[in-house]
Amino acid sequence: MIKGLFETHLFVEDLERSMDFYQNVMGLKRCNLNDKRRVAAFWIGKPKQSMLGLWEMPKEKIDKRHFAFECDPEWVINESIPFLKSKNLEFRNFLNDGIERPMVFAWMPAVAIYFEDPDGHSLEFIGMLSGESRPEDGVVSYEDWLEKK
């Protein structure tokens, strides 16, 4: 019955600022803009695959949310940090330990890195890894994940 998650929506304080971020920084393709309602929508990945909606709201009505962008694991491992640095975006790993590298959630397994949009919503690049789930390993560096493989 359920095949995936098609859309998610965020409240943003400044629609133009957020449209600029998601289109020009994150590279998403805008598929709709309703200026009267102050709503914009972006395709995530291929058109009609999944969608992000942005709704302009006063700052006091914005509750910060989290969602993850699915990426190839090799890109997360090798390119996500240079990409985030090139866009002047601060980032952190799950442990928030100051080490500039993605971490592996061994229970999935997946490799991920975190950052924020202009409204403080928590965003994540995540890539599913091959191999068996190892929940007993917790959250580890990619190097530690490979060492135990």
Model pLDDT, residue 90: 96
Residue type at 58 in one-letter notation? P
Average confidence score pLDDT of the chain: 95
Token pair of 48 as six digits: 């009609």
In sequence order, what DSSP letters do the residues of 115-138 get, joined into one string? EE-TT--EEEEEEEPSS---GGG-
Q: E strands along 13-128, which residues?
A: 29-34, 39-44, 50-56, 66-70, 91-92, 103-105, 110-116, 122-128
pLDDT confidence of 103, banded at 50, 70, 90?
A: very high
Q: Write the burial class of residue 126 (CB in 10 Å: 0-12 exposed, 13-18 middle, 19+ buried).
A: buried
105-129 mean pLDDT: 97
Same fold, 1-62 and 64-149: yes
What pTM was computed for the model?
0.94
Model pLDDT, residue 73: 97
Which tens digit of pLDDT belongs to each residue from 6-61? 999 999 999 999 999 999 999 999 999 999 999 999 999 999 999 999 999 999 99
SS3 54: strand
Model pLDDT, residue 31: 98
Model pLDDT, residue 148: 82
Neighbouring-strand partners of residue 27: none
Give residue limits of the domains in the chain: 1-62, 64-149
Of the candidates 29, 74, 27, 53, which has an alpha carbon nearest to the alpha carbon of residue 121? Answer: 53
Model pLDDT, residue 4: 85
The least confident of 3-7, 83-87, 104-108, 119-123 is 3-7
Q: Which residues have C-beta within 8 Å of that of residue 138, sequence separation ≥ 6?
A: 106, 107
Model pLDDT, residue 108: 97
CATH for 1-62?
A: 3.10.180.10
Architecture of domain 64-149: Roll (3.10)
Residues 46, 34: Cα–Cα separation, whole Å: 21
Helix ranges, the chain (H) = 15-20, 73-78, 80-86, 142-147
Model pLDDT, residue 120: 97
pLDDT at 149 over 80: no
